Amino acid sequence: MRFFNTYSRQIEKFEPRDPARRIVGIYTCGPTVYSRAHIGNFRAYIFEDLLQRHLELRGYKVHRVMNITDVDDKTIRGAREASVPLTKFTAQFKEAFFEDVETLRIKRADEFPAATDQSYIDRMIEMIRILISRELAYQAEDKSVYFRINKFPDYGKLAHFDLTQLQSTGRVKHDEYDKEHIGDFALWKAWDEEDGEVKWDSPWGPGRPGWHIECSAMSTALLGDEIDIHCGGVDNIFPHHEAEIAQSEGVTGKKFVRYWLHCAHLLVDGQKMSKSLGNFYTVPDVMAKGYTGRELRYALLRVHYRVPLNFTWNGMNEARESLGRIDEWLARLQEITEKENVECPTPNAERPIQKTAFEDALDDDLNISAALGFLFESIRETNRAMDENKLDAGSAKAWLDWWKRINTVLDLQSESEAVVPPEATQLAQERDTARREKNWKRSDELRDRIFALGWEVRDTKDGQKLTRRAAK
């Protein structure tokens, strides 16, 4: 297996810390629960889901941790504006997050540590204490504690950033007055009035942790000092992940992460989908347009994680169409396996299944586009063989078994979503009769009525097939 490591900017062969036990520790930066996550965030989580599932398909045991950032500037501001306690404010968005995870069929991480958990706060304080004792951090006059980036020579290695270019352009914010270097980042933020009730005691006075130290504390607490894979979106590289390296390695003296994997952004009209630009959709927004979680999962999954993906409604319709092709293919295969002694003039004429092509593509830095390309090429070929009545029950069964295996990674099998409602089935039967009577006008009318119910009719040599129609 090979991955592109942001640290080296190279494709590297994957070797976990513990190859014998085949355990892989993965840390993924989770949501900041100040509002509902948007589907750009979910592109990152779906890429991480693909990573986990593929490692598992290849026989690794994955231990995945995803943190929940439930205290930072944005959550505090949100709670203040809503006039509710911080925990109450964040609880609703945590709940919404887990709902969306379910809708998109994302495997849950083994742990979802929350930054406000007292045991993690204690650990953050302990890490900051060690950093100060090593002169890697200092308390400034504003009472906040900052990391001293000049003392950590590797600072900037992940982002490939030249420290000398980090120069002060003047005093931009009041809380930066006391820093030694413009790039020094807060480990502990001294309490101020705007924080209200949100504060913890520390050796440096009341305050709260900085965002970066939260991830260093929770990742090392649950996965150990050295982590196999750390993921996030590309916007996390600097300063967040750069800071995580400085803090964690500053404390442990060990290499924090072996492989850094970052996904490119989900875009809207060429711009990053983000809260601040206001160009975002949430999962319920997309569902409200008539799409399913499975369709959105497909739309966010289908492009290689390092390639920016433009979100469009047309793309959603394409996702629906692709899934329709998979559903129809599976139904046809199923039908063949169910027909005993199927007449098959040239049994096994269809070429043998290249069982590994899909997985091999994913081994290559999770090349999902190539993997799906292979799936659809296989669908085309088997459909052709089925059209010519050249696919025997044994081969059909082998394809279905293969699908079952790759679907542990894709998780795209249709469930109740594809159940055709009885009204649509009734209309389809009437349409069938109309067509037998060559009453094309009535047949078209019935097609329109079926369409109005959300279904599309396709005439195939095996009769009519109903699929969910694309939403407008």
The residue from 31, 113, 250, 324 that contacts ligand AMP (CB under 6 A) is 31
The residue from 36, 43, 64, 148 that contacts ligand AMP (CB under 6 A) is 43
The residue from 5, 6, 32, 67 that contacts ligand AMP (CB under 6 A) is 32
Q: Taking CB under 5 A as the rule, does residue 215 contact Zn ion?
A: yes
Instruction: Find the shortest distance in angstroms from Cβ 314 to ligand AMP.
Output: 19
Strand 257-263 to strand 227-233: parallel, antiparallel, or no bridges (unpaired)?
parallel
Kindly tell me the number of DSSP H helices and DSSP E strands found in the chain. 14, 15
Strands (E), 159-216: 186-190, 207-209
Partner from Zn ion, ligand AMP, none contacting 437, C-beta within 5 to 8 A by type? none
The residue from 24, 25, 36, 44 that contacts ligand AMP (CB under 6 A) is 44
- Which amino acid does the sequence have at 239? P
Site string for ligand AMP, 249-288 (x = CB under 6 A): --------------x-xx-----xxx--------------
**What's the CA gap between 257 and 348, in Å, rounded?**
49
Partner from ligand AMP, Zn ion, none contacting 248, C-beta within 5 to 8 A by type? none
Instruction: Find the shortest distance in angstroms from Cβ 233 to ligand AMP.
Output: 2
Cα 335–chain centre separation: 34
Interface with Zn ion by CB under 5 A: which range of 73-81, 130-138, 212-220, 444-452? 212-220
**What's the CA gap between 370 and 364, in Å, rounded?**
10
Measure the CA angle with vertex 33, ends 216 and 64; round to 5°.
45
CB 138 within 8 Å of CB 146: yes
Give the other-Cβ count within 10 Å of 13's Cβ. Answer: 7
Q: Which residue matches tokens 């090429």?
A: 377
CB 263 within 8 Å of CB 288: no
The residue from 5, 41, 292, 467 that contacts ligand AMP (CB under 6 A) is 41
Q: Taking CB under 6 A as the rule, does residue 209 contact ligand AMP?
A: no
CB 147 within 8 Å of CB 243: yes
* CA atoms lying within 13 Å on the CB side of residue 61: 6
Partner from ligand AMP, Zn ion, none contacting 462, C-beta within 5 to 8 A by type? none
CB 275 within 8 Å of CB 35: yes
Instruction: Find the shortest distance in angstroms from Cβ 359 to ligand AMP.
Output: 25
Q: Which is nearer to ligand AMP, 103 or 236 (CB)?
A: 236
Q: Which is nearer to ligand AMP, 66 or 424 (CB)?
A: 66
Site string for Zn ion, 1-40 (x = CB under 5 A): ----------------------------x-----------
Partner from ligand AMP, Zn ion, none contacting 274, C-beta within 5 to 8 A by type? ligand AMP
Q: Which residue matches tokens 């047949």?
A: 443
Applying CB under 5 A, the site for Zn ion has a residue count of 2
Q: Which is nearer to Zn ion, 245 or 457 (CB)?
A: 245
Q: Which is nearer to ligand AMP, 29 or 149 (CB)?
A: 29
The three-state secondary structure class of 423 is helix
Partner from Zn ion, ligand AMP, none contacting 272, C-beta within 5 to 8 A by type? ligand AMP
Partner from ligand AMP, Zn ion, none contacting 241, C-beta within 5 to 8 A by type? none
Applying CB under 6 A, the site for ligand AMP has a residue count of 17
Strands (E), 186-320: 186-190, 207-209, 227-233, 257-263, 266-268, 271-272, 309-310
**At how many degrees (to 10) do helices 211-223 and 118-133 cross?**
100
Instruction: Find the shortest distance in angstroms from Cβ 244 to Zn ion.
Output: 6
**In the range 172-201, which residues lie near Zn ion by CB under 5 A?**
none
Give the other-Cβ count within 10 Å of 95's Cβ. Answer: 12
**What's the CA gap between 17 and 25, in Å, rounded?**
9
Partner from Zn ion, ligand AMP, none contacting 250, C-beta within 5 to 8 A by type? none
**What's the CA gap between 375 and 392, in Å, rounded?**
19
Partner from ligand AMP, Zn ion, none contacting 215, C-beta within 5 to 8 A by type? Zn ion
**In the range 231-250, which residues lie near ligand AMP by CB under 6 A?**
232-233, 235-236
Q: Taking CB under 5 A as the rule, does residue 66 contact Zn ion?
A: no
What are the tokens at 415?
Answer: 């469930």
**What's the CA gap between 357 and 367, in Å, rounded?**
11
The residue from 24, 26, 29, 86 that contacts ligand AMP (CB under 6 A) is 29
**What's the CA gap between 154 and 354, in Å, rounded?**
45
- Which amino acid does the sequence have at 440? W
Binding residues vs ligand AMP (CB under 6 A):
29, 31-32, 40-41, 43-44, 232-233, 235-236, 263, 265-266, 272-274
